[in-house]
Amino acid sequence: MEPIRTGHGLRHPPSGGPLAAMIPHALLAPDAFAAVFEPFAGRRVGYVRPIGNVGDDLIELAMMQLLDAFGVRWVVVDPAAPPIGQLDVLMFGGGGNMGTRYRNNYDLRSRILALGLPVVVLPQSFTSAEDRGFEQVYVRETASLAFCPTGILAPDLALGLAWPKPAAPTRDRGLFLRRDPERAGRRPWFARDPVRWARTPADYLALAARYRRIVTDRLHFAIAGLHAGREVTLVANDYHKNRAMHETWLGHFGCRFAPSVADALALAGRRG
């Protein structure tokens, strides 16, 4: 089975133009994800896409690159019409949140578990326990291990994305905050939600690259900023995800953490 390419974003950097002369780089090398992808060797893998936004598309783009790096053969699976006889295992995409908070993805996982094939969950955070007979669950930050003690700690897949370094920033500081229930605290009127300004992973990365300093509570926009080599301050969301991701991974790449927008703006101001 040859991989089926998804159509919402670019799998590799575009050819031609100034980016073509630049060597893609990643925050983490593929070896950091060996525990996730090596167990798929020799298995016929069906990939089930979670419901999400452009940040989840960024994770998926990195996943495609990593599947190639580890030589995994896979197809995208429609849970309503899966080719059961042609598959050995189902793989549920990374990012998002395990537990019942987001019922759309919880119900999607229910449907794929009902198909009777082993199900592996790529690195996720947890908002509540979800012990439902998955073959393996990978957890992307240490705080979520309290909800999934049998999970294996592994990086968020977006940290393995290979993408060329961008040109120099054209703007100084950008404030980008979410407009959904995960927002914690007040949102200044001039803040923008980056998922409303980007349609593809390439758009998301380009938006982050415009700014020298980024303040955001969108986890994957922070990761996009780190990919671009920018000064990033990650603001807490309404549960442990952002703080734990910073403590587990992002702090090692120079990312700052702030418990509130006011603290983040003060921190960013002191730096420049």
Check the CA dihedral 132-67-161-155 and report its sign.
positive
Could you tell me the residue ranges of all domains in the chain? 18-160, 166-270
Which two tokens mark 216?
Answer: 């955001």
218 closest CA partner among 64, 58, 108: 58
- pTM score: 0.90
Q: Please, are residues 211 and 187 in contact by the beta-carbon 8 Å criterion?
A: no
Cα 83 to the center of its chain, rounded Å: 27
Residue 169 pLDDT > 70: yes
pLDDT value, residue 15: 33
CATH number given to 18-160: 3.40.50
pLDDT value, residue 22: 59
In whole angstroms, what is the distance from residue 83 CA to residue 78 CA? 9
Residue 130 pLDDT > 90: yes
Residue 12 pLDDT > 60: no
pLDDT value, residue 267: 80
pLDDT value, residue 84: 82
Please tell me which residue, 22 or 173, carries the higher pLDDT value. Answer: 173
In whole angstroms, what is the distance from residue 8 CA to residue 61 CA? 10
High-pLDDT (> 90) share of the chain, %: 82
Please tell me which residue, 85 or 207, carries the higher pLDDT value. Answer: 207
Mean pLDDT for 161-179 is 96
Mean pLDDT for 58-70 is 98
pLDDT value, residue 1: 37
* 257 bridge partner residues: 234
pLDDT value, residue 123: 98
Residue 2 pLDDT > 50: no
Beta-sheet strands, E only, within 72-170: 74-76, 89-92, 97-98, 119-126, 136-139, 152-153, 163-164
Which two tokens mark 9?
Answer: 């974003």
Residue 270 pLDDT > 80: no
Q: Chain-wide mean pLDDT for the chain? A: 90
pLDDT value, residue 148: 97
In whole angstroms, what is the distance from residue 42 CA to residue 28 CA? 25
How wide is the angle at C-alpha 197 spanned by C-alphas 195 and 158, nearest 5°?
45
Check the CA dihedral 54-148-259-229 and report its sign.
negative
pLDDT value, residue 13: 37
In whole angstroms, what is the distance from residue 202 CA to residue 220 CA? 13
Please tell me which residue, 5 or 107, carries the higher pLDDT value. Answer: 107
